[in-house]
Amino acid sequence: MSFTYQQKQKAAEREARMRRRVYPKLVERGQLTDQAAKEGIGIMEAIAADYAAAIAAESAKGRLL
């Protein structure tokens, strides 16, 4: 299966939102460390940002042609 950058970005953004909502509860219950929660959220936000940059680059490339 193949997915577009836009689809991947939206999925990463959804996952980041879910992690921001769920991870604090897991930290409270001792099921996840605060550091692991921050890293898990941060990496998903970084993935979303990478896809946003790829989308912007593709868009700019199209404008140059």
In 1-65, which ranges are continuous DSSP H helix?
A: 5-28, 34-64
Q: What pLDDT shows up at residue 64?
A: 57
Backbone angles phi, psi at 21, to 5 degrees: -80, -40
Average pLDDT of span 6-25: 98
25 confidence band (pLDDT: 50, 70, 90)? very high
First to last CA, the chain: 29
Q: What pLDDT shows up at residue 36?
A: 98
pTM: predicted TM-score of the whole model, two decimal places: 0.86
The residue range of the domain holding 42 is: 5-64
Domain count for the chain: 1
pLDDT per position as a tens digit, 30-58: 999 999 999 999 999 999 999 999 999 98
Q: Are 12 and 48 in contact (CB under 8 A)?
A: yes
Q: What pLDDT shows up at residue 65?
A: 52
